[in-house]
């Protein structure tokens, strides 16, 4: 089932998570084969899913749309396994993050280990972000190396703990902290802070 993401579903206008009761009813109907109920779940949650994926893939909108679709295909396939032990939005969010991280792992940039962190600190400011241009923090985050970006987004934006991030990315907690520190340093440098 492929659902089209329209401009009104963008991450800037997403609707906050609804009550579990409303989602519960839609989930039960969707598990029973009601495609309209699944479409309503998609419309309710696709904006937030798209937003987190977009941050993780570095503002690549086409890629984020593809991964959002991939996430909802997985939701359709796994919805019957949802046990209502947590909020649907929490389960969905974790599935979206995992989908994006799996895609990022397939890129060579996610294979950079701690010994590559020094190179990150020496990265010049991207040409499109020189002081004479308007700076957008989302764009800056998107310019970070993939692993540093993933750690920063998961920790500072999504509120994950270092242990969770390390386990998800397959790195030590110390490496996770180092990537976060370097990402913050690089953003600070690009923003003109010492």
Tell me which DSSP letter residue 191 carries.
Answer: T
- Let me know whether 176 and 95 are in one domain: no
- Let me know whether 95 and 159 are in one domain: no
- Let me know whether 24 and 95 are in one domain: yes
Q: Which of 113, 97, 104 has the alpha carbon at shortest distance from 179?
A: 113
- Sign of the alpha-carbon torsion through 11, 13, 15, 16: positive
User: What's residue 194's pLDDT?
Assistant: 60
66-81 mean pLDDT: 96
Question: Cα separation of 106 and 114, whole Å?
Answer: 18
59: its two tokens: 């503002």
Tell me whether residue 1 is in a domain: no
- Let me know whether 30 and 85 are in one domain: yes
- Let me know whether 61 and 123 are in one domain: no
End-of-domain residue from the set 90, 105, 120: 105
- Let me know whether 140 and 57 are in one domain: no
Q: What is the pLDDT of residues 106-145, one digit of tens each?
A: 875 554 444 444 454 445 545 544 554 445 788 889 899 9
Q: Look up the CATH number of the domain holding residue 17.
A: 1.10.1740.10
Q: Which of 51, 75, 77, 74 has the alpha carbon at shortest distance from 141?
A: 51
- Let me know whether 32 and 46 are in one domain: yes
* Number of domains making up the chain: 2
- Report helix angle 88-105 to 20-31, nearest 10: 70
Rounded to two decimals, what is the model's pTM? Answer: 0.71
Question: Cα separation of 143 and 149, whole Å?
Answer: 8
Residue length of the chain: 194
Cβ atoms within 10 A of the Cβ of 136, count?
12
End-of-domain residue from the set 87, 105, 123: 105
- Let me know whether 98 and 139 are in one domain: no
Q: Look up the CATH number of the domain holding residue 148.
A: 1.10.10.10
Whether residue 78 is predicted with pLDDT greater than 60 in this model: the reply is yes
- Let me know whether 33 and 101 are in one domain: yes
170: its two tokens: 């397959």
Share of the chain above pLDDT 90, in %: 54
Question: Cα separation of 146 and 14, whole Å?
Answer: 25
Domain residues for 129? Answer: 108-190
Question: Cα separation of 142 and 129, whole Å?
Answer: 12
Q: For residue 2, count CB atoms less than 10 angstroms from its CB and return exposed for 0-12, middle for 13-18, buried for 19 or more.
A: exposed
Question: Cα separation of 148 and 65, whole Å?
Answer: 22
Q: Which of 185, 156, 189, 155 has the alpha carbon at shortest distance from 173?
A: 155
- Let me know whether 119 and 37 are in one domain: no
- Let me know whether 80 and 128 are in one domain: no
End-of-domain residue from the set 105, 133, 152: 105
């Amino acid at each position: 089932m492929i659902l089209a993401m329209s401009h009104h579903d963008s991450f800037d206008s997403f609707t906050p998570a609804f009550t579990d009761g409303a989602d519960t009813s839609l989930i039960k109907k969707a598990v029973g084969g009601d495609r309209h109920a699944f479409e309503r779940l998609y419309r309710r949650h696709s904006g937030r899913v798209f937003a987190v994926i977009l941050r993780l893939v570095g503002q690549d909108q086409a890629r984020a749309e593809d991964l959002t679709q991939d996430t909802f295909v997985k939701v359709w396939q796994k919805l019957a396994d949802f046990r209502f032990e947590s909020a649907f939005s929490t389960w969905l969010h974790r599935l979206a993050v995992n989908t994006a991280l799996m895609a990022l792992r397939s890129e060579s940039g996610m294979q950079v280990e701690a010994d590559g962190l020094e190179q990150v600190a020496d990265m010049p400011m991207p040409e499109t972000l020189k002081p004479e241009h308007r700076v957008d923090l989302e764009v800056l985050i998107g310019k970070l190396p993939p692993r540093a970006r993933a750690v920063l987004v998961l920790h500072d934006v999504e509120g994950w703990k270092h242990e969770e991030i390390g386990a998800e990315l397959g790195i030590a907690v110390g490496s996770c902290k180092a990537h976060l520190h370097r990402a913050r340093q690089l953003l600070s440098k690009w923003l003109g802070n010492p």
